[in-house]
A and B are shown apart, each in its own frame.
Chain A
Amino acid sequence: MLTAKKHHMKEKKQILTAQEQLKQQEFQAEAVAHINSLYNYALHLTMNPDDAHDLVQETYLKAYKFFNSFERGTNCKAWLFKILKNNYINKFRKNAREPGKVDYDLIKDFYHTIKDVQSDTTEAESDFFHSLLHEEVYQALQSLPEEFMEVIQLCDIEGFTYEEIANMVESPIGTVRSRLYRGRKLLRAKLEDYAKKRGYDTESGE
Chain B
Amino acid sequence: MNCNKAMVLMSAAIDGELCPKEEEELAQHLAECPECRAEFQDAKKTKIIIRERIVRVKAPSALVESITRLTSITF
Say yes or no: A129-B49 contact (C-beta < 8 A), given A114-B57, A138-B54.
Answer: yes
The complex places the Cα of A116 from the Cα of B73 at a distance, in Å, of: 34
The majority secondary structure among interface residues of chain A is helix
Which B residues are in CB contact (< 8 Å) with A35? 59, 63-64, 67
A 103-129 binary contact with B (CB < 8 Å = 1; else 0) = 000000001001001100000000101
Task: Tell whether, in the assembled complex, residue B12 and residue A180 are in contact, meaning their CB atoms are under 8 Å apart.
Answer: yes
Task: Tell whether, in the assembled complex, residue A57 and residue B67 are in contact, meaning their CB atoms are under 8 Å apart.
Answer: yes
Q: Which of B39, B43, B59 contacts A39 (CB 8 A)?
A: B59
Task: Tell whether, in the assembled complex, residue A57 and residue B66 are in contact, meaning their CB atoms are under 8 Å apart.
Answer: yes
Q: Which of B13-58 contact A (CB under 8 A)?
A: 15, 17, 38-39, 42-43, 45-51, 53-58
The complex places the Cα of A185 from the Cα of B39 at a distance, in Å, of: 11
Task: Tell whether, in the assembled complex, residue B55 and residue A134 are in contact, meaning their CB atoms are under 8 Å apart.
Answer: yes
Say yes or no: A133-B53 contact (C-beta < 8 A), given A35-B64, A180-B12, A184-B46.
Answer: yes
Sorting the interface of chain A by its residue count into under 10, 10 to 19, 20 to 34 or 35 or more gives 35 or more
Q: Which of B15, B45, B63 contacts A56 (CB 8 A)?
A: B63
Task: Tell whether, in the assembled complex, residue B50 and residue A156 are in contact, meaning their CB atoms are under 8 Å apart.
Answer: yes
Task: Tell whether, in the assembled complex, residue B11 and residue A32 are in contact, meaning their CB atoms are under 8 Å apart.
Answer: no
B 63-75 binary contact with A (CB < 8 Å = 1; else 0) = 1101110111101
Query: Interface of B with A (CB < 8 Å)?
Result: 7-8, 11-12, 15, 17, 38-39, 42-43, 45-51, 53-60, 62-64, 66-68, 70-73, 75
